[in-house]
Amino acid sequence: MTYDIEKPDEQWRAELTPAEYQVLRRAATERPFTGEYTDTKAKGVYACRACGAELFTSAEKFDSRCGWPSFYDPKDSDAVELAEDRSYGTVQTEVRCARCGSHLGHVFEGEGFATPTDQRYCINSISLSLTPDES
């Protein structure tokens, strides 16, 4: 896949913290209930921490009690890309930033949440940066 923002691995390592690098570029997962945005109620826009692309808004964020920030839909349909992930012995749908290809988390559906899409974008806090609305 070709992305608008492509950098050599050494540059990603230099620009990201070791923890950010592991999640965003190596598809690791932060531990549940440890991320800075898990319980955040602030209104604003969540962007990719690697490239700044706007991905989700607080309007689509909901409390799924899963340990990671959850959204029922991305900000724009082309903000993220979905890919099959077989890395944990099961088939999951990985969510990546469509602009730089960074790993964000996974999306699940059919879990019965009372959301308009019946989807849960389970996203690592460390892969996001929140820009709060000005009030």
Sorted by where each starts, the structural domains of the chain and their CATH numbers stand as 9-34+48-132 (2.170.150.20)
The question of whether 100 is a catalytic residue gets the answer: no
DSSP for 67-108?
SS-EESS-SSTTSEEEEEE-TTSS-EEEEEETTT--EEEEEE
Cα 57 from Cα 132, distance rounded (Å): 10
The per-residue pLDDT for 135 is 63
**What are the 10-residue block averages of pLDDT along the chain, 135 residues in total?**
93 97 97 95 97 97 96 95 88 96 96 94 98 85
CA-closest candidate to residue 23, choices 129, 109, 126: 126
The per-residue pLDDT for 78 is 93
Model pTM score:
0.94
Six-digit token pair at 57? 């808004």
The per-residue pLDDT for 88 is 74
Q: State the DSSP H helix or E strand holding residue 48, giving kind and residue range, or none if neither.
A: strand 44-48
Task: Identify the active-site residue in 48, 97, 100, 122.
Answer: 122
Sign of CA dihedral 112, 113, 114, 115: negative
